[in-house]
Structure 1
Amino acid sequence: MASVLWQDLTAEELRAKAAADAIVVLPVASIEQHGPHLPVGVDTILCGGVCKAAAERADDVEVVVAPTLWCGMAEHHMAFGGTFTFDIPTYRAVLLSFLGSIERHGFHRVLIVNGHGGNIAALTAFLPDFARETRLQIEATTYFLLAQEALAPLLEDQKGVQHACEVETSMMMVLAPGSVREPRLNEAFGARDGLPGRPAVSRHRSFREMTETGVVGDARRASVAKGQACLDACAEALAGLLREMGKVG
């Protein structure tokens, strides 16, 4: 099977992808703290891995997966160290530059696939601007929300992805073997339900206010088998969306 990854293809091969009206999957993620047991690249590794697996499952839909944008909106993790973050104007400008490059190369359809909770609000706010400032057909999703219904039965202590948790730790055991600091797993648990607050009132909260360990959930429940099942569930949900997009393209 030919690679679905943009960086593996030649410029000539990418021109052919554009001529075939391929969907460009643009993974967006983060580099941020993930507790005592996981590297800071978790969101980037997982988002890129899910996008690759989904593109490979998308049957006869032409798909190419762009390189993952590894920096996002992560101010809430800065207090722990190890984290990069954009501000809103910079994040918008970087994404618009990526989309502009994709458009100039003759592609028409882009699926932005997010792998970091802190990016969701910004991406939702940007979509009207991107629709106005490009001619691209752009859709956006967060892969673990897209797959939440399929993930829930696979988990013991949670219904979906939290942070450095049962899901993310398990998936890292599959996509980045050896990266999990297994001797630290006994410390890798924290608040599960977030902070109490008023539903109609918003304010910025540091993860330091939520969890001493940097973990939300319980990574002690992680396993390779669970990681493979979660990866399959996420990849299949995303592949299903790509198939739907392919039908209307």
Structure 2
Amino acid sequence: MGPEMGGKRTGCGQTFSPKPQHHRQGVEAGPQTPRHAARRAGHQSRPLGELIVKLAELTWPDLEQVSRDTVVVYPIAAFEQHGPHLPFITDTAEVAAIVDHLDAEIPDQVLCLPAQWLGYSPHHLRFKGTITAQSETHINMIVDTVSSMVHADFDKILIVNGHGGNVPNMNVSLQRLMEKCPDARIYGTSWFAYDELGEIREAGPHGWGHAGEMETSLMMALHPEWVKADRLQKDGHPPQSERAGQVSRYRWIHQSTDQGTYGDPTYGSAEKGERFISAAVEVLVRIVEDIRKGHL
């Protein structure tokens, strides 16, 4: 029968010997873990280092007992400058927290991967401290990470993006994964692009961009100790043409800002940050439900 004898073909066209699996909801190996106890006691914000350990908390026998109907959630972000008032880790801290809240909301429906902090940010390099991957490196990281989870027999995977510069590479990755893993259903979404978030903002159409109203609000809610409140200043020079939304252009951020930010962070507040997080999580819950139902 060839190399497939006794084995199972994954969605990426590879073959491996099957292990005994018990497809139950959630992880049921051993006694209740502190993480599950904390969920039942009510969700609270935790330090960044604890926000990005979901799959990382399991052993491989634990993983065998996770239902393959579970949606794997893979957060991707960036490590780049966010002006004089927010830290380099902003994008990663935000998407990690949003995915953490999603996990607390529907723990038996999702399996969350560690947040990928390295993204595509060459346009920020003029502001030193930014760390970036080249496009091909970034695409390969996404494809390899997702392929590894497909090899582990998960066929529903949702990439949750937290950085605007990642969008083109995420889309190319989805194309390649369609070809490489034809039997898997792999999705990408950017939490910051949801229409529901626009209902919360107050700073106007050019007020909530990079390190503006929304990101400043999130960081005030998540890590107020990292926000330099005495440095908040409106920045950015939006295009003057009415055709700007119909034309694509890549350019260095220092060409259109004074201090590396877009928008007006003076509109930021912790209360508003909590509302942005809740709105994003509500959308993600619906997306996960639609994926599980086969509606996407």
Q: Note closer, same or farther for the CA distance 1:34–1:25 as it changes in structure 2 (3 Å cut).
A: same
Give the TM-score normalised by structure 2: 0.76
Structure ID, larger Rg: 2
User: What is the deviation of 1:13?
Assistant: 2.2
Aligned to 1:122: 169
Matched ranges for 1:44-59 at <5 A? 44-58=92-106
Provide the secondary structure at the position in 2 that maps to 1:190.
coil
Aligned to 1:6: 55
User: What is the deviation of 1:112?
Assistant: 0.5
Q: How many residues are aligned here?
A: 243
Q: Note closer, same or farther for the CA distance 1:240–1:108 as it changes in structure 2 (3 Å cut).
A: same
Alignment pair present for 1:164 and 2:211: yes
User: What is the deviation of 1:21?
Assistant: 2.3
User: What is the deviation of 1:50?
Assistant: 0.8
Q: Note closer, same or farther for the CA distance 1:210–1:239 as it changes in structure 2 (3 Å cut).
A: same
Aligned to 1:66: 113
Q: Note closer, same or farther for the CA distance 1:5–1:28 as it changes in structure 2 (3 Å cut).
A: same
Q: Note closer, same or farther for the CA distance 1:192–1:23 as it changes in structure 2 (3 Å cut).
A: farther
The answer (yes or no) to whether the contact 1:31–1:44 under 8 Å persists in 2 is yes
User: What is the deviation of 1:6?
Assistant: 1.5
Name the aligned partner's letter for residue 109 of structure 1.
K
Instruction: State the percentage of identical aligned residues.
Output: 32
The answer (yes or no) to whether the contact 1:34–1:163 under 8 Å persists in 2 is yes
Aligned to 2:196: 150
Q: Note closer, same or farther for the CA distance 1:103–1:220 as it changes in structure 2 (3 Å cut).
A: same
User: What is the deviation of 1:62?
Assistant: 1.7
Aligned to 2:281: 235
The answer (yes or no) to whether the contact 1:30–1:41 under 8 Å persists in 2 is yes
Cα distance in 1 between the residues matched to 2:61 and 2:268: 43
Aligned to 1:246: 292
Superposed CA offset, 1:196-229 (max 9, x none): 5965654431000111111100111111111111
RMSD of aligned alpha carbons: 2.2
The answer (yes or no) to whether the contact 1:58–1:243 under 8 Å persists in 2 is no
Structure 2 residue runs without a partner (length 5+): 1-34, 40-52
The answer (yes or no) to whether the contact 1:189–1:213 under 8 Å persists in 2 is no
Give the TM-score normalised by structure 1: 0.89
Name the aligned partner's letter for residue 294 of structure 2.
V
Aligned to 1:109: 156
Name the aligned partner's letter for residue 254 of structure 2.
R
Cα distance in 2 between the residues matched to 1:184 and 1:248: 47
Cα distance in 2 between the residues matched to 1:153 and 1:201: 26
Matched ranges for 1:205-216 at <5 A? 205-216=251-262
Structure 1 residue runs without a partner (length 5+): none
Relative to its length, the structure with more helix (as a share) is 1
Q: Note closer, same or farther for the CA distance 1:221–1:7 as it changes in structure 2 (3 Å cut).
A: same
Cα distance in 2 between the residues matched to 1:8 and 1:152: 35
User: What is the deviation of 1:245?
Assistant: 1.2
Cα distance in 2 between the residues matched to 1:79 and 1:201: 24
Q: Higher relative contact order at CA 8 Å, sep ≥6: structure 1 or structure 2?
A: 1
